Amino acid sequence: MGPQHPSTHGVLRVKLKLDGERVIGSECIIGYLHRGVEKIAENRTYQQFAPYVDRMDYVAAVSSGLGYCEAVEKLLVVEAPPRARVIRTILTELQRIASHLLWLGTHALDIGALTPLFYCFREREEILKIFEKYCGARLTTHAFRIGGLQYEAYDTLEKDVERFCKDFESRIVEYETLLTQNRIWIGRTKGVGILTAADAIAFGVTGPVLRASGVKWDIRKAMPYAAYDQYKFEIPVGTTGDTYDRYLVRMEEMRQSRLICLQAIENIPSGPIMGKVGKVLKPPPGEVYHAIEAPKGEIGYYIVSDGTVQPYRVHIRPPSFINLQAFDRMVRGHLVADVVAIIGTIDIVLGEVDR
Amino acid sequence: MADESKEPKPVHVPTGDKPASSTPPVSTPSGKPADASAPAAPPKPPAPAAPKPPVVLQTPLDNEFVTRFRAKFGAALLEAMEDRKQAILIVERARLVEIALHLRDDEKFDMLSDLTAVDWPKRDRRFEVVLNVYSFAKNERLRLKVLAADAEEVPSVVGVWPTANWQEREVFDMFGIVFSGHPDLKRILLPDEWQGYPLRKDYDILQQDTAWVRENLGIESGQ
């Protein structure tokens, strides 16, 4: 299958070993979108590299950007001011909703339900409009800067977010009406691509896929960053770790993200939006690993500084790459038609798998 | 501006009521009370900051865990340190698998978050292979490092953490480090026939496998 198959969400090639219609083995061939992001990083300054991370997971650029900015801040031993942290949290949670909406729309489309796509894109559009109003870009936003934010929140940001959140409550119900009790949907997803908790941990799987396997772990709670320690939210978990569970977990995550946004706009602290960082960044020699909970899982940045303006080494731990590794375990024994459902349920973005 | 470039120093940004449990705390060793957070007169704070003692970000690590670890592995622990409050252990390459098993089973570092490498061409052993492990039980991260020279092999940890499979392949692909005992060590992101290891420091950013590009893409250069 692939690399130009519509269900692979980009350029993923999967070699399948079949016994009739049944999959008895698989191998993922990746790298079609490899751009050498980590090499580029070594030849740019810290600020110059920031926009590149948006081009990895290009449907959740805000989250990748947050991870990178926070990692460099840690390396510099500075912190973003409270106002910046709260605005970052709001935008990142909106991004999570947008990413999950894109996943839901395309995943349902892959399995044969055409309708949800249109609804999902309608709401996603509202989020992209907020991004556009905030920083001028819709996808590769480069919304944050090392040390804080470049742009002050625009006047009606709170209002826009509030309006979106108000509408969105009933919109999730609409999606659920289409799918949750739908017999075809249940037939195509229940019991498909089961990943046990032990396997998930062994394969380093993170994010909604890990939680659907019943492991209650979310970096936003375990090692809070940005302003997550100020807000109340639940971590949804699944029980069997099948495709249906992963669907339910992501649906609930969108609800929780909506709640976080509502709490955050209640009280955005005033004050500066940029911490005290110089125009030229020269982090003291040393290294740091910083990870955040991106919509797809743990995105980690391991950055080594040699005290110059360019990073000595930047390594990115991409959730899509690592989660995709569990694909083989999930697909064995299923039918060819289920392969499509399983690729969709891992929620990969090839830009991030290949970097 | 030239001035600013010299001071990536810890500036304590007042974080208000930030509870202690926030991000693994960014250390602010010098604890400069830069509480005049307002755009206030900038000339003041830099003045006393000039003779500031050098910030110590790397410190030797010596806690209960390290003591336990040293008791068990003795000389295999080459160095234990902390950098920006993150624990780092440098260990003997030959005993990596044994150490990994111990960390996974006895110390409950059950997830390997990340495996990568860093190239320091001027050092005796040019490669550092870096493993970031995480413990759900303790909610702690630990960084494990082994050193390897150019032709030296590093024992594979796929048997301990299956997730290492693709990550070791990526390191092999980008650095040419061979992991002994890996079930299927081959390139993962670059084409199988590609010559050279791009993330080595002696591989220039504009360098490429011209022969491969010409043969497979029919163009003179991919740049």
> Domains plus CATH for chain A?
32-275+304-354 (1.10.645.10)
- pLDDT given at position A114: 84
> Can you give the pLDDT at residue A128?
92
- Tell me which of B17, B37, B108, B113 to substitute to probe the interface with A (most A C-beta atoms closer than 10 Å): B113
Q: Which 8-state DSSP code applies to residue B136? A: T
A250-278 pLDDT, tens per residue? 999 999 999 999 999 888 888 888 888 88
∠A37-B134-B116 over CA atoms, to 5°?
30
> Which pLDDT does position B21 carry in this prediction?
41
Sign of CA dihedral B205, B207, B212, B218: positive
For A195, the token pair is 């990943």
Q: Which of residues 122-161 of B touch A (CB under 8 A)?
A: 130, 132, 136, 139, 141, 143, 161
Neighbours of A190 (CB within 10 A): 14
For B:48-77, CB contacts with A below 8 A are 55, 57-58
Structure tokens at B200: 């080595």
Point out the residue among A82, A203, A313 whose CB comes nearest to the CB of B118: A313
Contact A31, B189 (CB under 8 A): yes
ipTM: 0.84
Can you tell me the distance from the alpha carbon of A115 to that of B96, in angstroms, rounded to the nearest whole number?
Answer: 52
At residue A280, the pLDDT reads 83
- The CA distances from residue A212 to A248, A291, B97, in Å, are 8, 20, 30
Cβ <8 Å between B4 and A280: yes
**Which uninterrupted H or E stretch holds B113?**
strand B111-119
First to last CA, chain B: 34
In B, minimum Cα distance to A221 occurs at B22
Distance CA B44, CA A100 (A): 48
Distance CA B45, CA B40 (A): 9
Name the helix (H) or strand (E) containing B89.
Answer: strand B86-91
Tens of pLDDT, residue by residue over A148-191, are 888 888 888 889 999 999 999 999 998 888 888 888 899 888 88
Backbone angles phi, psi at A96, to 5 degrees: -60, -45
pLDDT of A143 higher than 70: yes
Cβ-Cβ contacts under 8 Å for A78 (sequence gap 6 or more): A147, A275, A276, A277, B8, B10, B11, B13, B26
Other CB atoms within 10 A of residue A83 CB: 21
Per the structure block, which two tokens stand in for B189?
């992101």
Backbone φ and ψ for B173, nearest 5 degrees, come out as: -60, -45
Average pLDDT, integer, range B130-152: 91
Can you give the pTM of this predicted structure?
0.82
Going B165 to B169 to B172 to B174, the CA torsion angle's sign is: negative
In the structure, what pLDDT confidence band is assigned to residue A86 with cuts at 50, 70 and 90? Answer: very high
Share of chain B above pLDDT 70, in %: 74
Residue predicted with more confidence, A9 or A255: A255
What pLDDT digit, counting tens, does each position of B158-178 carry? Answer: 999 999 999 999 999 999 999
Residue type, B214: R
